[in-house]
């Protein structure tokens, strides 16, 4: 079964017509289910609407690091409320992006920490976006208990590929581009990694080489190219908007 764990059917630049066209394409494809990833309050609301419209669609609720500096307490509260919807299955996408956001690292870290705490409070999976912030993302996840014994006890273990079981912290890193050492540490901690677009970058290639040879294959997710492109396109266009004020 194919399950696309990270897509953006909610993309705010789609007309309703275009969104419907993409939904029809998904419905007639080999993909059985998708997670429509929210990245702010508005896109989370759209993701929930998509999940209500389509049986095969689930949503995640969260605020992307690119919105960190304009995130208010009320926004976090809104995410908490939206996460109660029965088709919201994760908090995300949340994380750190120091490639685009060099100037607001402290804001990003604060919003990231608050949403990991929210996921822990609600006992929900976490979907991570991380770019140029590999080690600090892991440090913060550890500090906030994303791999704690308590958290691991909330979720069933998964097959380890050798006839046994491995812990599953329900922490998913999408588009991972860190080192292979970091990838393997994540796997040991019970995270799931996807190697998306960054696999074509120098670092991503190194991670993929080590990863493909390791037991981590059980924790590997693949992105279908459109999902990655949607995510990256959105960031590029947002970045340009910011640059031009
Ligand atoms: Zn992302
Ligand atoms: Zn995304």
If you average pLDDT over residues 145-153, what whole number do you get?
A: 97
- Taking the CA of 97 as reference, the closest ligand is 1
Output the pLDDT for position 162.
86
Q: How many angstroms does the Cα of residue 162 sit away from the middle of ligand 1?
A: 31
Q: How many angstroms does the Cα of residue 7 sit away from the middle of ligand 2?
A: 6
Exposure string of 129-166, with b = 16+ CB inside 10 Å and e = fewer, is bbbbbbebbbebbeebebbeeebbeebeeeeeeeeeeb
- Taking the CA of 230 as reference, the closest ligand is 2
If you average pLDDT over residues 141-149, what whole number do you get?
A: 98
CA distance 207 to 224: 19
pLDDT tens figures, 79-129:
999 999 999 999 999 999 999 888 999 999 999 999 999 999 999 999 999
Q: How many angstroms does the Cα of residue 234 sit away from the middle of ligand 1?
A: 9
Q: How many angstroms does the Cα of residue 74 sit away from the middle of ligand 1?
A: 23
Q: How many angstroms does the Cα of residue 67 sit away from the middle of ligand 1?
A: 12
pLDDT tens figures, 201-217:
555 555 556 555 555 44
Q: How many angstroms does the Cα of residue 181 sit away from the middle of ligand 2?
A: 24
Q: How many angstroms does the Cα of residue 20 sit away from the middle of ligand 1?
A: 22
């Amino acid at each position: 079964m194919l399950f696309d764990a990270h897509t953006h059917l909610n993309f705010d630049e789609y007309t309703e017509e275009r969104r419907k066209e993409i939904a029809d394409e998904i419905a007639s494809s080999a993909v059985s289910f998708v997670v429509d990833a929210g990245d702010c309050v508005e896109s989370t609301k759209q993701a929930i609407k998509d999940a209500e419209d389509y049986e095969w669609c689930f949503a995640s609720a969260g605020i992307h690091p690119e919105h960190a500096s304009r995130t208010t307490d009320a926004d976090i509260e809104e995410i908490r409320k939206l996460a109660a919807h029965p088709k919201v299955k994760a908090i995300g996408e949340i994380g750190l992006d120091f490639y685009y956001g060099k100037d607001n690292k402290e804001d990003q870290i604060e919003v990231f920490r608050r949403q990991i705490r929210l996921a822990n409070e609600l006992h929900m999976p976490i979907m991570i976006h991380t770019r140029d912030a590999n080690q600090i993302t892991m440090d913060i996840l550890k500090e906030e208990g994303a791999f704690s014994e308590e958290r691991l006890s909330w979720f069933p273990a998964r097959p380890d590929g050798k006839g046994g079981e491995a812990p599953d912290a329900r922490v998913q890193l999408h588009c991972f581009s860190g080192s292979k050492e970091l990838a393997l540490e994540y796997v040991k901690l019970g995270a799931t990694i996807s190697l998306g677009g960054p696999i074509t970058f120098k670092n991503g290639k190194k991670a993929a080489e080590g990863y493909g040879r390791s037991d981590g294959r059980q924790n590997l997710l693949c992105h279908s190219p459109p999902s990655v492109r949607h995510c990256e396109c959105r960031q590029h266009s947002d970045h340009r908007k910011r640059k031009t004020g």
